Structure formats: structure tokens, C-alpha cells
Amino acid sequence: MRHYHVGILLAGLLATHHTWAITELNVQDQGVVDLFLTGKSPANTLIVDFSSGLTTADFNGDKIADIAVASPSETSLRGISQTGRVAVFFGGNSLKELVSPVDPEHGKENFLISGIIQGEKIGTRLAAGDFDQDGLSDLVMYAPKKGKSDEGPRLYVVYGKTNFSAKMEMPTHADVVITHTHANNVPNAQDSLDVLNLATGDVNGDRVDDLLILDDINNQAHVLFGKAGQKWDKAVDLSVAAGATLRVPGYDDFYHVGLVGATGSGGMTSGLLVSDLNGDGIGDIAIGLPEASVGSLEKAGQVYVVYGKTGLSGAIDLDNADIKISGGLNRDQVGGSLAAGDLDGNGQMDLIIGAPLSGLGQMSTTGIGRVLVLKNVVNRGQSLDLFLDADVTLKLSGEKGKIGFYTGYTLSAQDVNHDGISDLTISSPNAFNGSGKNGWVHVVYGSNALKNMYDLDMDADLAIYTPEPPKSLCCGEMGTGLAISDVDGDGKADLLLGAPRSGFGTSSSGVLHVLLNVAAKQAGATSPNMAQLDSETFQLHLPLVTISDSPFKIWATMNLVDPTALIFELPQDSFGLVEQSSASSSTFDGNTGRLSIPNLHFSGVHYQLELVAVSSDPIRFQIDLTSLKTLP
């Protein structure tokens, strides 16, 4: 029983006195990614450069989330160029049985959707919801590209079912085709609809999912209401059928700057969210306008919140929104992405606002990016200023954050570590250490002790990186697509990360990284520089460590001699590759989370090395190679 009690004591001391050092996972390392889904060829990327090009939902009714992933530039099944494809992989055992990497070209998906109109690019946006309340999720796909003069942009809906045809063509096999034929002062059908974002949820209180379509050209969000037991007509014209519209007076568009996006085929977008913020059981609507100026603050950005309600209908002017949130800096451009969750565990919803194009107040700078959190947003008043009212700010540190990294490009507030509190997942798809637009994703675990400021590269709980060039899987802009769901049916959160320019070897076909039970990968993270405490012998084993460009080598075992104060002893005979060492003790510093090991002797030089706590169950320390220093 001794090891049990001491284990609890150690975990308690570490949890009380230390905020964990970041755990880093590289997608190239063995055991980090469980499944790679890859694109066909360099010209045809698997993930479009928007977060909505990837979605998860239960399409086949087995109570396990499935994966829908788009290749908008893909050639059709008939060989027609750039019609786009959407591949759907069923979750559960069929997903776990796949052997990586999986190329949809070889038919391993459960069903494949393709277009027949040249240049249509099906899948540029994806969404899912149960619009007829039959217990099966329905798939929505946006096709933006113009075809013939009478073929404008459209959305296709395929209803969920227990059995799908292996291959389907749009519009032939679409259950619903959604268009907008009477655009706002635009007579050409080709320019009748420009979908910036999609969202789903019940906003009118009938317990059936509704579809929200954020439309740039018509300067509004269309709401198409779902209805229990009823399917939409085969052809739906939003100008007639939309049950409600949310309009933005005074702006020509939501966000349409022509900025080259992550795959070079589009740009940034506006955030659109449906979430029950006020706790009345009905979804509320949040819309981001990153280009909006606020007084003298150019492009500070704004976010509008409209509460859902029974009987929601008609035209809604966002000037009369229930909450208006303004960016607090020049070119902060808040609202590019949105999420909501209870990050501090107090039972109240917090609103997370991404500003991936923020220049952090610098007029000539854009795209460093940051994320802001408004706790308990519905009880803060109708008008909020993020400069004054933001409770938490998350960004990369000044050393790491660079122009064009787009921190906050995609967001999630799903519970990753299964503690019942929402966690915050943030992507920086163009981030790199040396070069390459590789992509980083950081996870900050929710708690009742959130800080006011986070430097993600130092303060996050978990970081997922891609390798630097010229290694395989580099340069992929990972985090362009992001989803968190349970796709293998084990009740644990799985992390899906789209990297549209990634690939194996010289390929850049696009890769979707699937990390099953990602929180367990943090607890079980292994590294050549990781030391773990043996819970039976109470020995801390340091593996063989070699410092580059140095003769220093270490391999040691330290004994835990005082569990109440976390004091470790370094016996003289514990080293295998150090010429000599002095018996000494090391005490864990609960304030810094570090354990210093002094009096290491190698080649006539005295060294000190530091370990950083990264896990409490089991007890693990990361060996900080940068801390090695010589002593007098």
C-alpha cells in the first residue's frame, strides 16, 4: 500500500504547486497519430483551407461520430476537373481497422460524393445536423464555383441513412439543392450566393436542428428551419424559404478581403456559432465581422449575439442584437473564429473569440493572431469592449509569434481531458520555428484557475507540432481544419487536424491527422529526454541523454528519499556514462515545477541539469537540455 499512498501524495503536491510544463507531440513520431487520411495528388488537397471543410457527425445511425472530409479541387468520378469530392469514413471499428496512410482514391472510405459540374468545388464548406429529427445527421456541402451562366453557387444536402450508396453524384443524388436566385442588387445567378460559413443548431426552440448560412453577397445570415418528421423540398430558394434572416446594416460585406488562405485558394472567413449561451435550452447565434471598424479603431472587428427563442422569424437587424462586442485595438479584426464552452467550470458559458488576423495593435502588421475569452458572457451587459472586458488572452509569445501565423484560425471548446470542463484548442496553421508554414495546435485545459494571459508556446498544456522542412509531413499548414469528437466509440475525445499541403515524401496531397484519445497521449507521452518515477521502487530513471556539440552524456537513477518534500538523492554509483558524480540531493520546486540536479562531473567539468514536471500520473519529468550549465 505504500506506493499507493505516496503516489497520491506526489500527485497532490505536483497538482497543488505547479502548472504543468507543456507536453509536445510531433505528428511524425511513432504513436502520436493513429490514422493518416491522405489526398490523391499534389494538385488535389484533402482539406480545403477553411475549418468547415471538415466535420464529424453520426450519418449512419450507429451512435458513433463519422468523419466527412472534402477535396474541393478533386476531379470527378467521370474525370471532370475540379468538381470536388467529399469522402465519408464511418467511425467505430471500421475506422480503427484502417491501416495508415489511407488514400480515398483507393476506395477505403464508406461512401464518396462527387460533382459533375466543372469547377464547382463541392465541399468548400461542410456542416452537419439532424434537420428532420430522425436520429441521423444530415450532411451539408457548399459548392461555390461558377459553372454555366445559369448554374450559380449552391448547397447540397444528403440526408443521413443506415445504408448509403458507395458513390453518389451531385446534384443527381442530392436530397436537397439550396440556392438563392434573387440576390441583393445582383442580377447574375452566378453571383447570387457567397457562403462564408455554416452552422447548425436549434435556434427557434422546437428541438430540431436549423441550418445557418452566412452569406457575403446578400449581407446576411439565412436561417433555414428544420422540422421534426419533415424533409425539405428537393429545391430550396433561400430568398423565399429562409425562416429568418440576420442582416448587418452599414457594411458591404462580412469579411471578403481576398487574402490568400492556407491552401492558396481562398481566404479567411467570419465566425458563425450556434450555442446555448444563456442557458434557456435554445441555441443562440453569434456572428463575427472582423472587418468592422469601431469608432476611430480601423478594422477592430465586432461580434454580435442574438438569443434564440421560440418563434424566431423574419428579418432581424443586428443593430438590435442582444450583445454587441467590439475589438479594442486597431486591426484587431476580432470575430474570425468563434467557440463557446464553460472553461472555468462554474456552470456559465464563456464566449471564445478568435482574431487570427490581429496585428496586436500594430497598424502595419497583420496575421500574428490571438484569442480572447469573455467569461459568463450573457451577464456582462449589452455592449462589451474587448480591450476592457476580455478575461483571458491567448497568443504565441513575442519570441515565437510572427506575422502570418494566424493564431486562432480554428477553435474548439470541447472537453479534451474528460474532466467535465471545457478545454480550449487553438490552431496557428502557418507557424514554424525555422521555415515552412508547418502548423501548430495548442490545447489549454479548462480550470477554475485560468490565468489572464497565456503565451501558448510556454503555457499550454499540450502542443501538437509538425516537423520542420525537409522532413515528411512538414509545411502542411496543420490546423487549417480542426475537429474534436469521439470517432472510435470509446467515450474519449479524439483530435482531427487537417493539413492541406502536407504529405509523405515529396507529396503535398493533404493529410488529415487523427489522434485517438489525445489526452492519453499526453499522459503517456514518451521522449528520449523523459524521466519517469517508478511507483514501486520510487526511483526516478533518467535515460541516456546526449547534448549536441558537447561531450556531456548522462544516464542515471535518482532515489526518492523524502516524498513529503519531493527530495531526490543522486547516489554516487548511479551513473553509467558520467565519469564521476558527487552524492547530492535535489528538491522539487513547486513554484517553478523544476527539479535541479547539481554536481554532475564529466571531462573535468561540473554541470547542473534541470528537469521540468509534465505529468502527475504517472510522475514524469522532461529533461530540459537547454538548462545544462557549467558550475564553478
Other beta carbons within 10 angstroms of residue 26's beta carbon come to: 17
Residue 594 lies inside a defined structural domain of this protein = yes
Residue 542 lies inside a defined structural domain of this protein = yes
pLDDT, position 62 = 97
Residue 91 lies inside a defined structural domain of this protein = no
Question: Which domain, by its residues, includes 563?
Answer: 2-19+527-631
Q: What letter represents residue 462's amino acid?
A: L
Residue reference for cell 475569452: 373
Residue 409 lies inside a defined structural domain of this protein = no
Looking at the 3D structure of the chain, how many domains does it have? 1
Strands 462-465 and 23-26: parallel
Q: Residue 570: name the closest of 535, 603, 531, 604 by CA.
A: 531
pLDDT, position 540 = 80
What is the rounded CA–CA span in Å between residue 215 and residue 220?
Answer: 6
Q: What letter represents residue 95's amino acid?
A: L
The residues, ordered by sequence, that sit 6+ positions from 301 with a Cβ below 8 Å of its Cβ are 288, 289, 290, 291, 292, 294, 326, 327, 332, 333, 334, 335, 336, 355
Grid coordinates representing 430 are 502557418
The residues, ordered by sequence, that sit 6+ positions from 435 with a Cβ below 8 Å of its Cβ are 468, 469
What is the rounded CA–CA span in Å between residue 155 and residue 451?
Answer: 42
pLDDT, position 434 = 81
- Per run of 10 residues, the mean pLDDT along the chain (length 632 residues) is 45 48 80 82 50 85 96 86 91 84 69 92 95 98 73 93 96 96 58 88 98 90 97 95 84 36 44 97 96 89 96 93 95 95 97 94 84 97 96 94 94 95 96 87 94 93 86 80 96 93 69 91 62 76 60 68 76 47 68 76 69 71 71 63
pLDDT, position 470 = 72
Predicted structure pTM score: 0.80
Q: Based on C-alpha coordinates, what's the Rg of the chain? A: 26
Q: 399-436: string of b/e by CB count within 10 Å (b at 16+)?
A: ebbbebbbbbbbbbbbbbbeeebbbbbbbbbbbbeeeb
Residue 254 lies inside a defined structural domain of this protein = no
Q: What does residue 182 show for φ and ψ, rounded to 5 degrees?
A: -120, 80
Residue 292 lies inside a defined structural domain of this protein = no
Residue 514 lies inside a defined structural domain of this protein = no
pLDDT, position 267 = 46
Grid coordinates representing 85 are 469530392
pLDDT, position 265 = 29
Residue 587 lies inside a defined structural domain of this protein = yes
